[in-house]
A = this chain, B = another copy of it.
Amino acid sequence: MLEIERKFLVKNNSYKTEAVSKKRIVQGFLNTHPERTVRVRIKGEQAFLTVKGKSNAAGTIRLEWESEITVQDAEALLALCEDGQIDKVRYEIPVKDHIFEVDEFFGNNKGLTLAEVELKEENEPFEKPDWLGDEVTGEVQYYNSQLTKKPFTLWK
């Protein structure tokens, strides 16, 4: 139940040519508190309910619990969520031994693209592709839960 991951900005679109999958994600939050976010996600033809706890100081490790639910249930639960749905397309890009998940955001977060890589250990080394930008691991404003309340197009 521990999720270890690092998050980065993305410099350009070249990741798209290397993607092995592409799925639309629509998600909302039943709670956006960083210590107990509760997310309802529809990803392609699947849906999930996910609870995440507070991260460690570095922002790399977070308790995560996830359960698959029906798309029908997810739609009913999305209607209960706080305002500010996230709409994004997720690309999966294999880079050596790891899979990067790159999220291109739409709607109120258009212009933002974020890459995440999941690790088995906090200090596990991984290859950084050319399109990978600055690291933003642990920066709360980049949490999807916070992007619902303060979307990227309203930054600055």
Contacts and interface: CB of A to CB of B under 8 A. Distances in A.
Interface of A: 1, 30-31, 33, 35-36, 38, 49, 51, 53-54, 63, 65, 67, 69, 73, 76-77, 79-82
Given A31-B36, A51-B30, A73 B65 contact: yes
Copies in the complex: 2
A81 B76 CA distance: 23
Contacts of A30: 30-31, 36, 38, 51
Contact of A49 (B35, B49, B53): B49
A25 B41 CA distance: 29
Contact of A53 (B35, B53, B65, B80): B80
A78 to B, nearest CB: 11
A33 B79 CA distance: 15
14 contacts: A1-B76, A30-B36, A30-B51, A31-B31, A31-B33, A35-B80, A36-B80, A36-B82, A38-B51, A51-B77, A51-B80, A63-B76, A65-B73, A65-B77
Nearest to A40: B51
